[in-house]
Structure 1
């Protein structure tokens, strides 16, 4: 699971629309700026930020100055550019410290990653629109996955997206509309994807055979915080040929078993 440059414009347009439609515009503007800076590989200038988010430059400057004062954004007076400041780490660290799934999942991710030589992610399902990586364990192979803790992805993308679609109440028409907005390197047809969603309901896990990232197979197993409440997932990423040799079915079954144990633990914590 990795973000690609071709997704950025669509994400920026969605950010701009969310700011425009928000009933709390000041908060939405600040959140949109933080997300934009978090996705950018380099510091951004005022005009770039304002243009990408559809903000009036003077309004954008006011929000940026407030974020700088709160130590969430850093300003370089020499380049006149903005970037994330260390203050955001304090919020993230406090959230991770309280997140039971992250604590429980990390040793599971480490074991499966080591045994099958895959990169493992623990993801949090945020509403109907996004997935956020909250834990990661990297394999010892040469496959480099750019996903980091805090990375966001569209909810229906890749193998995890098939799990979400399988567990959702979306109509076929709603799924088709959301599917049309997804960006894949090797896109499946909607009919093929929908059949894989149906298979996910039966087998309890999903496989993306190189659709999202060409040559990379992604496996996902859902984790439930309460009956009927799909909140997290275990995700494995590996080279397709390598996974076939190491045992794709065995990996999937291990992930399903681990997800069931985590689900029971989370339900117990919630109770």
Structure 2
């Protein structure tokens, strides 16, 4: 099964929302622990958490106990390890249920998935330079493509990355620094990537043909936003062997039509 997500990889100079003048340390540490547990494939002990996040063990333990009390983290007494709790699901459900973007996209995604037998997803850029899946529709066929709500990947990777780079208008030097930090299974040449960014700016969509993940075609169309709003895109993910050039172009036009309809 192919997982459409990646570990965090950010460019230190990428634009970030202004940090609070005086961040609340305990809140920042709690959020860091929650993200760390979310990325882990197994429950973790307090010593491991404290070591990996460079926290004092007693501090990590106090935060974890508070998160357990709030149902955001679960403690397993037998193993003395921690994992995310069901309280996280409630927060995520409430957020998605109240999102106008998610509600507007869902029927479009289901239609695209049924018509083209691809995974259709909507993504939004978070404050840590990751695109996060906020809505999805799965294909009728089992294409062995695994993507879930909350899956995330670096902002500049894949087809969405070409669209984001096209929106930002960075100079060559800055794009080169960001490109070097990306991890592809079949990386494009830098000059090719630059050409594809220009094509995304011109055409309003981008295609990743097996660069991010071998054998997988990813097509993305960016959704226009007001200045300062999160970057969003509608994305289709399918097997390269099942999408010929004509189908890819038809799919790209469909994504553009969805995006244009949202702008109306």
Please indicate, yes or no, whether the TM-score normalized by the shorter chain is above 0.5: yes
Corresponding residue pairs, total: 251
C-alpha contact (below 8 Å) 2:124/2:230 kept by paired residues: no
C-alpha contact (below 8 Å) 1:156/1:165 kept by paired residues: yes
Structure 1: stretches of 5+ with no match in the other structure: 12-21, 265-271
Q: What is residue 70 of structure 1 aligned with on the other side?
A: 70
Shift of 1:138: 0.7
Shift of 1:228: 8.3
Q: What is residue 262 of structure 1 aligned with on the other side?
A: 262
Q: What is residue 268 of structure 1 aligned with on the other side?
A: none
Q: What is residue 4 of structure 2 aligned with on the other side?
A: 2
Seen in structure 2, the aligned counterparts of structure 1 residues 180 and 25 have a Cα distance that, compared at 3 Å, is farther
Q: What is residue 111 of structure 1 aligned with on the other side?
A: 111
Paired with 1:45 and 1:170, the residues of 2 have a C-alpha distance of 42
Which aligned pairs between 1:199-214 and structure 2 lie closer than 5 A?
199-214=199-214
Which aligned pairs between 1:88-167 and structure 2 lie closer than 5 A?
88-127=88-127, 129-167=129-167
Seen in structure 2, the aligned counterparts of structure 1 residues 102 and 259 have a Cα distance that, compared at 3 Å, is same
Q: What is residue 16 of structure 2 aligned with on the other side?
A: none
Q: What is residue 250 of structure 1 aligned with on the other side?
A: 250
Paired with 1:201 and 1:244, the residues of 2 have a C-alpha distance of 23
C-alpha contact (below 8 Å) 1:121/1:136 kept by paired residues: yes
Q: SS of 1:41's equivalent?
A: coil
Paired with 2:85 and 2:128, the residues of 1 have a C-alpha distance of 29
Seen in structure 2, the aligned counterparts of structure 1 residues 161 and 128 have a Cα distance that, compared at 3 Å, is farther
Paired with 1:178 and 1:236, the residues of 2 have a C-alpha distance of 24
Shift of 1:196: 0.7
Seen in structure 2, the aligned counterparts of structure 1 residues 128 and 161 have a Cα distance that, compared at 3 Å, is farther
Paired with 2:204 and 2:116, the residues of 1 have a C-alpha distance of 20
CA RMSD of aligned residues (A): 2.0
Shift of 1:43: 1.0
Paired with 1:51 and 1:194, the residues of 2 have a C-alpha distance of 40
Shift of 1:128: 6.7
Normalized per residue, the structure richer in helix is 1
Q: TM-score scaled to structure 1, two decimals? A: 0.86
Shift of 1:121: 0.6
Q: More relative contact order in 1 or in 2 (CA 8 Å, sep 6+)?
A: 2
Q: TM-score scaled to structure 2, two decimals? A: 0.89
C-alpha contact (below 8 Å) 2:164/2:231 kept by paired residues: no
Structure 2: stretches of 5+ with no match in the other structure: 11-21
C-alpha contact (below 8 Å) 1:167/1:230 kept by paired residues: no
